[in-house]
Amino acid sequence: MSELQQAFDALREDILLEAEARGIFQQEAFFELYAATASENGDTIDLEYTHSHKEGGRQPYRIDGYGFDNDRGTLYLAVCDYRSGAELESLNNDRLTSALKQATTFLENACSSVFINSIEETSPAFTAAYPIYSARDLIKRVRIILFSNARLVTRRPPQLCEQVGGLPIVYSVLDTNRYFEIQKSFRISESIEVNIADIAGQPLACLKASTDTEEHQSYLLAIPGSVLAEIYGLYGARLLEQNVRTYLQAKTKVNKGILDTIKKTPEMFFAYNNGLTATASGVKLETLKDGQLGIAAIQNLQIVNGGQTTASILYAKDVANSPLERVHVQMKLSVIPPAHIEQVVPNISRFANTQNRISEADFFSSHPFHLQMERYSRISTAPPQDGAMTGNKWFYERARGQYRDGMAYASEAEKRKYQLEYPRDKLIEKTDLAKYLLSFERKPYLVSKGAQKAFMAFADQTAKAWKSAPTQFNEIWFRNACAMGLIFRWTDKYVAGSDWYRDDRGYKSQTVAYTLSWIAEKIIHQGKASLDWQNIWNTQSVPEDLQELIVSLAPQISTALRSTSANVRNVGEYCKLELCWQNIKATEFNAPAIPDHLVLDINEMTQEKKEAKSSARIDREIDFDVLLHMLVPKAEIIRRTAEQRRFLSPKADRALQKLGSGNLNLARPDKNAVKLLVKRMADEGMPVEDM
């Protein structure tokens, strides 16, 4: 069996398990897996599932998901080509063209008042079309992506096609080949080759800023604004290094100062703007007619600083209609050998962004919080259920693909043992954790903004809380989060399988988040602290009384979300507003009371947190690996301080230099040297946590 067929089998298993676990159709499970991958890779922003189609007739259409970047005027549309068979099939050009054409037809229909007025407001077509219709005057660019679990014979890069209704349309494809490549490359960026010579008409002149003896090559160049806009228009956020990409998805305000410079003094843009810091795995160099060195192509281009500049230039072209002929952007391009990309690029990103407004929360994907949660997920065994001899564990996936990697080279017997210890329905991804916590923290409007924006909100508050009191994120905190996840997933599956939802599909994720937030609010209103998470953890089930409450409440919440004032027809956008939560929170629903045995009072909660923090302090002293992660950005200042105080040993010096470069694979003697140094500095009144 080929490696590709094995990967396809694994994907098919993921789809089937996801559909069964959540009570949804296979096609929706397929969409959500692909949409999450596309969003994390930068192909799209978070997409909302809005399946609608019309077969036959003169103009068949189909759409499966959409997302709108209001600040940049970019509309994202997704259309699915899902094959339910067990064999990997090929995606031929006719089927590809037909699918993209159907999505384009839907776009044309959605911008037409005749179409909007001809369909029922409760229909899936209206749910998908009205947000597009209401934003039609704000749309400046459309990106249509085809999701397919078939295989393209010939790779197709993103293509800028003819305009539709005056809008530039970029088509792209996420087939099985690209899906598997992205899954493999989540720890480093997906390879992108930008043909500069084709886009600019010729190679761009550059100045080599390194010697031939250096391992990393560096170049300085000035990119015409029109060229940069076209590159970003084709590839979008895929060009941005992960931290910058996440930052721009969550905080998408366009820089008004940049736009002002482009409009009023474009010839001064080069002088006023800080320019771009970028990395690549290789460049194709040519000699220009005048003898200068030129860059004709860039492999694996990633912008690690200057993402806002790049996005604002495209905005100036699409939205402000500003000419870019006199705009030039300076770029510092570092060519990093592929073997060192994983280690070097995150550091370039972190250090290049230190003068900008990107906070540590924007680098949260590498925060020690995740290492701590991973540790607890590997040692916290849930109590045995239904007469079983042993319990199983919730698997926290700190890095994409960890769960599947654990079975990659295992025998069938080892795989069965692994899955018994870590059932797939107890896999928690980082974005899942954010949804669970924010829902029970009574912030459903943040959950409704989509996975990436919800995660950034969670990252922001968690990074601040960790800095002030890291011991609050202890084993009890992790178990409570798992209990929240158990309730969230039960509610999601119940809603998906209910008759009232199947009769009028839509806004499932919003209904789940608002239902659980309302319950949490009701508990606070009754003078209690929270649900008894420990009891739910011990039983690994949702109590019957709580199930009855959810079953009674969820359909009423769903109706209330849709029953908005006459001027609110875009329910999805309304759910993202805190005003929506204020309205739902103030609504009295016909639901059973929350029994006292399901909740903790404030004194019980306070005592539980106190005991958990005390235990966590001991754990942190033992778990030195977490501290090592915390030391990485502080390694150099710690080393210099220790050197000035004359208690820096050679081993500690060497170890801190490794940490400063991002290398966490320290030998035990080096770890011990750092541990002794940290203890000595603490004894001298210089705790490293405060540096």
pLDDT at position 362? 47
Mind listing the pLDDT tens digit for each residue in 106-132?
999 999 999 999 988 777 788 889 989
Instruction: Taking residues 674-685, report their average pLDDT.
Output: 77
Q: What distances in angstroms separate CA 345 from CA 184, 219, 276, 334, one per listed residue? A: 17, 16, 14, 10
pTM of the predicted protein model: 0.73
Interaxial angle between packed helices 578-585 and 508-525, expressed in degrees from 0 to 180 and rounded to the nearest 10: 50
Q: For residue 201, which phi and psi values (nearest 5 degrees)? A: 90, -15
DSSP 50-93: EEEEE-SSSS-EEEEEEEEETTTTEEEEEEEE---SSS--EE-H
Mind listing the pLDDT tens digit for each residue in 4-44?
888 899 899 889 988 888 888 999 999 999 999 998 888 89
Separation between Cα atoms, residue 557 and residue 518, nearest integer Å: 9
Domain regions of the chain by residue span: 3-184, 193-356, 368-610, 623-690
Q: Are strands 282-287 and 276-280 parallel, antiparallel or unpaired?
A: unpaired
Q: For residue 376, which phi and psi values (nearest 5 degrees)? A: -65, -35
Of the ranges 276-280, 442-446, 485-489, which one carries the lowest mean pLDDT score?
276-280
pLDDT above 50 for 98:
yes
pLDDT bin (cut points 50, 70, 90) of residue 448 is: very high
Residue 369: name the closest of 304, 305, 434 by CA. 434
Q: Count other C-beta atoms under 10 Å from residue 411's C-beta.
A: 9
Residue holding tokens 């490293």?
688
pLDDT at position 630? 72
Instruction: Taking residues 550-569, report their average pLDDT.
Output: 87
Of the ranges 95-99, 286-290, 319-323, which one carries the lowest mean pLDDT score?
319-323
Q: What distances in angstroms separate CA 317 from CA 19, 141, 225, one per listed residue? A: 42, 10, 9
Mind listing the pLDDT tens digit for each residue in 378-424?
989 999 887 777 889 999 998 777 888 788 767 888 888 999 999 98
pLDDT at position 162? 67
Is 531:488 a contact under the CB 8 Å cutoff?
no
pLDDT at position 295? 96
Q: Count other C-beta atoms under 10 Å from residue 140's C-beta.
A: 20
pLDDT above 50 for 359:
no
pLDDT bin (cut points 50, 70, 90) of residue 321 is: confident
pLDDT above 70 for 245:
no
**Contacts for 276 with CB less than 8 Å, ≥ 6 apart:** 223, 303, 305, 306, 309, 310, 329, 330, 331, 332
pLDDT at position 616? 61
pLDDT above 60 for 377:
yes
Alpha helices in 251-306 (DSSP H): 256-264, 269-272
pLDDT at position 586? 92
Is 299:279 a contact under the CB 8 Å cutoff?
no
pLDDT above 60 for 356:
no
Instruction: Taking residues 581-591, report their average pLDDT.
Output: 93
Residues belonging to the chain = 691
Q: What angle do CA 42, 225, 172 make, to 5 degrees?
A: 30
Is 224:200 a contact under the CB 8 Å cutoff?
yes
pLDDT at position 361? 44
pLDDT bin (cut points 50, 70, 90) of residue 640 is: confident
Mind listing the pLDDT tens digit for each residue in 490-522?
999 999 999 998 877 778 999 999 999 999 999
Separation between Cα atoms, residue 102 and residue 93, nearest integer Å: 14
Instruction: Taking residues 564-579, report their average pLDDT.
Output: 82
Mind listing the pLDDT tens digit for each residue in 281-311?
899 999 999 999 999 999 988 888 888 888 8
Across the chain, what does the average pLDDT equal?
85
pLDDT at position 635? 84
Contacts for 193-199: CB closer than 8 Å, 24+ residues apart: 193/297, 193/298, 193/299, 193/300, 194/231, 194/235, 194/297, 194/298, 194/301, 195/296, 195/297, 196/227, 196/295, 196/296, 196/297, 196/298, 197/286, 197/296, 197/297, 199/227, 199/230, 199/231
pLDDT at position 558? 94
Looking at residue 339, the DSSP 8-state letter turns out to be: H
pLDDT at position 354? 47
Take residue 447 and report the two structure tokens written for it: 């959950």
Take residue 544 and report the two structure tokens written for it: 């019957």
Positive or negative CA dihedral for 42, 46, 52, 58? negative
Mind listing the pLDDT tens digit for each residue in 202-240?
999 999 998 776 668 899 999 999 999 999 988 887 887
Q: What percent of the chain has pLDDT over 70?
A: 88
pLDDT above 60 for 342:
no
pLDDT bin (cut points 50, 70, 90) of residue 254 is: low
